[in-house]
Amino acid sequence: MKRWLGLYAVVFFAFLHLPLLTLSVFSFNSSRFTVWEHFSLDWYRAVFRDPELIEGTWNSVIVAVAATLISTVVGTLCAYGLWKRGSRLLTGTLYLSLVTPEIVTGISLLALFQWMFRWLHWHLGLYTVILAHVAFSIAYVVIVISARLRTISPNLEEAAMDLGASEWGAFFYVILPALGPGIIAAALLALTVSFDDYVITSMVAGVDSQTLPMVIYAMARRGASPVINAISALITVFFGLLIVISQRVREA
Amino acid sequence: MNRRYFILGMAALAGCSRAARPRLNVYNWSTYVAPDTIPNFEQEFGVTVRYATYESNEEMLAKVITGNSGWDIVFPTYTRIKPMLDYGLVQPLRHEWLPGLSNLDPRFRTPTWDRELQWNVPWMWFATGIAYNRDVRPAPTRWADLWDPRLKGRLTMLDDPEDMLGACLKKIGLSFSATDPAELQRAKQEAIAQKPLVRAYLNAEVRDQLVSGDVLAAQLWATTAQQAIDSAPNLAFAYPEEGFPLYCDCAVILRESQRSRLAHQFLDYLLRPKVAAAAGDYTRVATANGAAKDFLPEATRNSPTLYPPPAILERGEWPETLSPAAQRLRDRIWTEIKSS
Amino acid sequence: MKLRSWFVLPTWAWMVGLFAAPFAIVLAYSFLARGVYGGVERPWTLENYQRLLDPLYLTILLRSFGMALLATLLCLILAFPAALFISRSSRHKNLYLQLVMLPFWTSFLVRTYAWLFLLRDTGLVNTALQKVGIIHAPLQLLYNDGAVLLGLVYGYLPFMVLPIYATLERLDPSLPEAAADLGARPWPTVLRVILPLSRPGIVAGAILVFIPCLGAYLTPDLLGGGRTVLVGNLVQSQFTTARDWPFGAAVSMLLMLLVTLLVWGILRRESEQLT
C-alpha cells in the first residue's frame, strides 16, 4: 500500500508542477512554438523592456504590500477580539465574504465606487484597488490567526494580567509574540491573494492603476506569447524564494 | 528631528509634481499608435501623456460612463458615439483648433455618423472578413463558405455578437443591422447550425493559430488578418461577396476633460500625415487620413487587405447604432447561441 | 469600551463599508431597470428576476453547478491519496506540503495560462504525442469543457489537499491500527475507517473548491474558447458587453443565495453531526 501511495505521490506532484516547469523551460526557447529552436534570453529582455509590464509589476507590488499590511493588522486585531468574545454576525459576514464569487465582489465594489463618485467627484485609482483587496483579505487573515489562537492557552493572558499587565500590555507583549509565525503565515497568504487577483482588480482599477495580472491577461487575450512564459517563470521563482525564506525565518 | 525632514521632503515632492509638465490622459485600443507617436508628442509639446489601452468598446464605456473617469481622449467605434452623445459624455470639437482636418480622406470628412465632424475625428477604419489559409481550396469568398463541413474544427468565428450575428445575417441575405426578431431568429438558426464546425469563438488571439496552421479559416478583422499575413505569406484575406461590415474608430474628447486645448492639439497632431502614416503602417490598420497615404511604404499602400479597391469597398455596409431594445434581443440570442 | 471591542471595530467598518454596502447596492440594482445605454434607472421592477426563470438561464446555472460539482469530485479523488501520503510520510512532511502549495503561490492566471500553452495544437502535449507516433494530426484539446474542467481542477487542487491533510494529521493513529488488528486489509481500512473520519476535512475542501468553481470566470474565458456560457461569464457579460446591469445584479444575487444556502446547510449538518 505504501508503495502505491508513493507512486501516486510522484505522479501527483508531477502533474502539479510540470505545467509550470514546462512554461519556464520554454521561456528560454527562441521560437514562439513548442519546437525547440535554441536557447535564448530574448523573451526575458522583452519583459524588462516593456514599460507596461514594469509599471504593472510596480503597481501590483504597491497594492499587495499596502493591502497586506492593512489587512494583517486589522485581521489580527479582529481575530483576537473574536477570540475573547465571539460574534456570530461578524464571523458569518467574514465567511460570506470568503465564499462570495469573485465576479460578484468585483461588480458590487465597482457599483459602490461609481455610485459614491457621482457625488464625491473622485476617480478610481490605486487606492480603490487597495481598499478592495483589504476587503477580501481580512477573512483569510482572521481564519489563519484564529486557528493559531486556538493553540494558545487562555491562561497565558490571565497570568500576564495577574502579574500586573494591562489588557493592552497582555495583548501586545504576550499574545502577539506567541502569534508570530501565524502572523507571518497570514501576511504571506494575504500577499499572494492580493498579488494574484485579476477579476476584482480589473473592475475597480483606475486610469493609472494597471496591475501585473491585468497586463498578463491583456497579453494572453492577444494570443499566447513566450513573454508570458518568461513573466510566469519570474513570478514562480520569486514566490518560491519568498516561501523558502519565510520558512527559514519561521524555523529560526 | 526625523519627522520634520520627512514632512519637508514630502512638501518638496508635492511642490515638484505641481510644477511638473501638463498631463493628457489618452485611452486607446491596444497597438493603435506607433511606438514613437506618443513620445514624439510628449517631446514636442512638453507634456506627459498617460496612455493606456483597452480591448473592447464595452471595457472603455464601463469606465467612462460615470462621466468621472479621468480620461481626456478615448477612441470609440463610431456606433458608440451616438449613445455617448445621449449620455452627454462628449465635448464638441472646435475646428479652429484642428486645421489638420483637411487631411482626412474625403470619405471621412462627412461621415454618416457625424456629418459635420462636430464630435469626432476618424482615426482608423477596417472591415470584417475571412482570413484563410491558401491550402483551402477553393478559397472561401463568401460567408456561406464558412459553413463548409470540410472546415470542421479548423474554423473560428469572432467572439463578438455584432460581427458573428452579422455574418449569419449577411449569409441569408439580410442587413447587417437587422432588428426584426424573425430575421434575427433565422440568423440564430444559422449560427447554431454552424456551431459544431466552429473550433472556438476567438478574437485577436486566433492570429497565432492561423500562422501555425491550426486554424484554416477565421472570421477576422482586416487589420488582424494583415498582421497574420505579415508572419505567414500563405495566408490571405477575403472580403465576402454577400457584403461585410465597415468600422471606424474615432477619437473623441470627453466632456469631463479639463484640458480641452491640449486634447485638441493631440488630435491635430494625430491628423498630421506623417504621424498617421507611421501609426497606420506600424499597426497594420487602414488610416482615415487621406494625405497620409503618400507617406505609407508601398507594400502597405497597395495591400489588398488593408486598402481594397473601390469596387470591393462598395459591398461594405456601415452598421447602425442599435437601439437598446434591439441590443437586448441580440444579447439574448448571443447567449442562446453560446450555450447551445 | 473593552479593548476587544476596539479591536473588532476596523473589521466591522470594512465589512459594512466594503462588503455589506456594495452588496446592498447590487441588491437594489437587481430591482431597477436597465438604463438606455447602460447603468440603471427607475422604475423599480421584478422583471430581472422573472427573466431568470427563463429555461435558457436556468440551464446555464445548472451547467455551472454540474461543472463545479464535477471539478470538486475530481479534486477530491486526486487530493485524498496525496493527503494520505503526506500524512503518512515520516520525514519530509513540510517539504511535501510546500510542494503542494508552491503552485498555489504562483499566479492563478499563470496556472491557467500554462494549460493554454500545453494544450494548443502546437503545444507540448500534441507535439509529444505526435513525436511518439500515437497520433498523426494534432488533437483539439483546447476550447472544450474538458479543458475548462482540467483548468479548474488544476487551479484548485491545493485547496482540497490541505484541509484533508489537516484532518488526517489529527486522526488518532490507533484507529487504523485497531482495524488492522481486527484483520482488515489496508485498502478497505482506508475506505471504511479513514475516509469517514476525514469527513470534516473533505467538507471544508469541497466548499473551498466548489464555490470558486461555481463562479469561475477566468478559466472558461481563457480555456473554453467562448463555446459555453457559465454563470461567471454571464454575470461578467451583463456588466460589460450587454450593458444590462440590473439583470447581471439579479444573476449575482441568485448566485449568492445559492452559495449561502449551500454553505449554511452544509455547516449546519456538520455541526449537527458533531453534537
Answer whether A218 touches B (CB < 8 Å).
Answer: yes
CA dihedral B285, B288, B290, B293 (to 10 degrees): -10
pLDDT of residue C259: 86
Has residue B1 got a pLDDT over 50?
Answer: no
Residue C38 covered by a domain? no
Pairing relation of β-strands B316-317 and C33-34? Answer: unpaired
Residue C40 covered by a domain? no
pLDDT of residue A137: 92
Subunits adjacent to chain A (3 or more Cβ pairs under 8 Å): B, C
| A203-213 per-residue burial string, b: 16 or more CB within 10 A, e: under 16 | bbbbbebbbbb
Domain that holds residue C223: 53-274
A41-251 has which fold? Answer: MetI-like fold (1.10.3720)
pLDDT of residue A34: 61
* Average pLDDT of the residues in B225-230: 90
Query: CA-CA distance, A60 to B126, in Å (whole number)?
Result: 35
Query: CA-CA distance, C232 to C251, in Å (whole number)?
Result: 9
Cβ–Cβ gap B324/C138 under 8 Å: no
pLDDT in tens, B7-35: 444 544 444 443 467 889 999 987 788 88
Q: Where are the alpha helices (DSSP H) in chain B?
A: 2-18, 37-45, 57-64, 81-86, 161-171, 181-194, 206-212, 222-231, 260-270, 273-283, 298-301, 310-313, 324-338
pLDDT of residue B15: 41
Residues in chain B with CB shorter than 8 Å from the CB of C228 are 338-339
Residue of A nearest to C190 (CA): A1
Sign of CA pseudo-dihedral A107, A112, A117, A119: positive
Q: Which of A96, A214, A231 best probes binding to C when mutated, by most C CB atoms within 10 angstroms?
A: A96
Residue C46 covered by a domain? no
Residue of A nearest to C150 (CA): A15
Residue of B nearest to A114 (CA): B66
Residue C171 covered by a domain? yes
| CA-based nearest residue to B222, from B280, B266, B148, B262 | B280
Average pLDDT, chain B: 87
**CA angle, A64 then A65 then A68, to 5°:** 80
The x, y and z cell numbers of residue B70, run together, are 479621468
Has residue B214 got a pLDDT over 60?
Answer: yes
Between C260 and A247, the higher pLDDT residue: C260
Has residue C273 got a pLDDT over 90?
Answer: no
Orientation angle between helical segments A212-221 and C108-119, nearest 10 degrees? 20
Cβ atoms of A36 and C221 closer than 8 Å:
no
Query: CA-CA distance, A23 to A26, in Å (whole number)?
Result: 5
Between B145 and C37, the higher pLDDT residue: B145
Q: Å from C252 to nearest chain B CA? A: 17
pLDDT in tens, B273-296: 999 999 999 888 899 998 888 899
pLDDT of residue B99: 92
Identify the band that residue C150 occupies on the pLDDT scale cut at 50, 70 and 90.
Answer: very high
Q: Which three-class secondary structure state does DSSP give residue C173?
A: coil
Residues in chain C with CB shorter than 8 Å from the CB of A165 are none
C242: CATH = 1.10.3720.10
* Average pLDDT of the residues in C48-76: 92
Q: Å from A231 to nearest chain B CA? A: 19
Provide the residue type at B126 as one letter.
F
Percent of chain B with pLDDT over 70: 94
Answer whether B336 touches C (CB < 8 Å).
Answer: yes
Residue C156 covered by a domain? yes
Between B63 and B165, the higher pLDDT residue: B165
pLDDT of residue B16: 41
pLDDT of residue B160: 84
Q: How far is CA B256 from the centre of its chain?
A: 23
pLDDT in tens, B54-113: 877 877 887 788 777 789 999 999 988 988 998 889 999 999 999 999 999 888 998 888
pLDDT of residue B92: 94
pLDDT of residue C225: 81
Cβ–Cβ gap A108/C99 under 8 Å: no
Answer whether B55 touches C (CB < 8 Å).
Answer: no
Query: CA-CA distance, A37 to A21, in Å (whole number)?
Result: 18
Answer whether A49 touches B (CB < 8 Å).
Answer: no
Between C62 and A85, the higher pLDDT residue: C62
> Looking at B49-53, C151-155, C191-195, C243-247, which range is the least confident one?
C191-195
Question: A235 φ, ψ to 5°?
Answer: -60, -45
| Residue ranges per structural domain of chain A | 41-251
pLDDT in tens, C164-197: 888 888 777 777 777 777 777 777 777 777 888 8
Between C269 and A231, the higher pLDDT residue: A231
Residue C48 covered by a domain? no
Q: Which of B56, B200, B336 sits opposite C143 (nearest CB)?
A: B200
| CA-based nearest residue to B252, from B103, B82, B40 | B82
Has residue C72 got a pLDDT over 90?
Answer: yes
Residue C250 covered by a domain? yes
Residues in chain A with CB shorter than 8 Å from the CB of B63 are 124
Has residue B123 got a pLDDT over 80?
Answer: yes
Which residues of chain A register pLDDT less than 70? 32-35, 222-224, 250-252
Cβ–Cβ gap A207/B69 under 8 Å: yes
* Structural domain count of chain C: 1
> Looking at A199-208, C130-139, C247-256, which range is the least confident one?
C130-139
**For the whole model, what pTM was predicted?**
0.82
Q: Å from A94 to nearest chain B CA? A: 29
